[in-house]
Amino acid sequence: MVKKKRKFDPKLILVGIVAIFILLTVTGSFYSVKEQEQAILTMFGKVVRVDTAGLYFKVPFIQSVHHVDMTTHGVGIGYTIQDGQNITVEDEGIMITSDFNFVDIDFYLEYKVSDPVAAYYNCENPEVVMKNMALSCIRNTVVNYPVDDVITTAKGQIQAEVKEKLQGELTNKDIGLMVVNLSVQDAEPPTEEIVQAFKSVETAKQGKETAINNAKKYQSEELPKAEATADKIVQDAVAKKESRIAEAEGQVARFNEMYEQYKLQPYITKKRLFYEAMEDILPELKVIITDGKTQEMLPLESFNSVEGGAKDGDN
């Protein structure tokens, strides 16, 4: 028994081709854009429009659609992230400082597309260009700081300056990307020997701070005592000064009074002053004054004491 060869109906083949064409035409006439992306519609290589989230129509086989992710992305500078771990990129984060030291500094850069057309057409690989720009900006900034500041206190200022410079470069180059955030992840000396040296320096700085704090504490404790002692010395000096002034003024007043008496009776006043001086100098001395005929004994003894002495002698 001989089988007959199966013949294909040309009409059926044509219908199938037409159906496939219609299906491709219908499915190729519509496209959707997700919430976190934008779509560039082009025709013959020229941009027709940029679409945000939604469902759109396009001319099939003539117009093309290019989807651009608009979410925020991150990239490490000086290291890469693999399987959730940070892997150091050799020599990428090594920078030179203003005092001619080396420092290994790592950054984390967050960015996103600001202009989908520029990101798609103006640069073949905008992420690579942006990272090179970031490295250049970091080197131009770190070189203005000494190594101690880079490792310790100047991290915030450095990352702010780098972010501003990088955003300016991206705007000038117009590659369609923008900086969302830039942060210093780590900054340390590049070798273990230098690490140990910096640790020694930090220990010395801490010792310095401790000594300064102790000195300030001693100052705060001793300064009030010294000020109190100084105030007492000043007050004593002022009191002594006033006492000496009052004493001097009293002596002046007595001298003036004595001088007035002296002007009235110079001779008598001189004798009285002489006798008073002698009495002060030799209080127990008895002076006998005579002119050859009359005797006078100074100081004069009380008659009561003489009489009392005579009575006692009689007894």
Q: Tens of pLDDT along 165-174? A: 999 999 999 9
Q: What is the mean predicted confidence (pLDDT) over 22-27?
A: 63
Instruction: Write out pLDDT tens, residues 208-256.
Output: 989 999 998 888 888 888 888 899 999 999 999 999 998 898 888 888 8
- So what's the pLDDT on residue 304? 46
> Is 115 inside any structural domain?
yes
Same domain, yes or no: 58 and 82: no
Q: How many domains does the chain have?
A: 4
Same domain, yes or no: 62 and 79: no
Same domain, yes or no: 85 and 167: yes
> Is 41 inside any structural domain?
yes
> Is 149 inside any structural domain?
yes
Q: What is the mean predicted confidence (pLDDT) over 291-306?
A: 53
Instruction: Write out pLDDT tens, residues 177-186.
Output: 999 999 998 8
pTM as predicted: 0.56
Same domain, yes or no: 108 and 202: no
- So what's the pLDDT on residue 57? 86
Domain final position from 69, 90, 117: 69
- So what's the pLDDT on residue 287? 62
Give bridge partners of residue 287 from the DSSP assignment: 298
C-alpha separations of 37 from 34, 42, 264 in Å = 6, 16, 125
- So what's the pLDDT on residue 258? 79
Same domain, yes or no: 97 and 205: no
Q: What pLDDT band is residue 30 in, cutting at 50, 70 and 90?
A: confident
> Is 5 inside any structural domain?
no
> Is 271 inside any structural domain?
no
- So what's the pLDDT on residue 270? 78
> Is 82 inside any structural domain?
yes
- So what's the pLDDT on residue 314? 46
Which of 41, 48, 107 is CA-nearest to residue 68? 41
CATH of the domain at 136: 3.30.479.30
Same domain, yes or no: 115 and 172: yes
Same domain, yes or no: 182 and 196: no
Domain final position from 175, 190, 205: 190
Q: What pLDDT band is residue 260 in, cutting at 50, 70 and 90?
A: confident
- So what's the pLDDT on residue 193? 67
Same domain, yes or no: 77 and 162: yes
- So what's the pLDDT on residue 129? 94
Same domain, yes or no: 15 and 84: no
Query: For the ranges 113-122, 272-281, 285-294, which has the lowest average pLDDT?
Result: 285-294
Which residues form the domain of 45?
10-69
> Is 269 inside any structural domain?
no
pLDDT of 54 above 70: yes
pLDDT of 265 above 90: no
Same domain, yes or no: 79 and 177: yes
pLDDT of 151 above 70: yes
- So what's the pLDDT on residue 31? 86
Same domain, yes or no: 134 and 149: yes
d(CA 119, CA 174): 8
Domain final position from 69, 92, 119: 69
Q: What pLDDT band is residue 74 in, cutting at 50, 70 and 90?
A: very high
- So what's the pLDDT on residue 306? 45
- So what's the pLDDT on residue 313? 45
Query: For the ranges 1-5, 55-59, 99-103, which has the lowest average pLDDT?
Result: 1-5
> Is 214 inside any structural domain?
yes
Share of the chain above pLDDT 90, in %: 35
Is 20 in a helix, a strand, or coil?
helix
pLDDT of 194 above 90: no
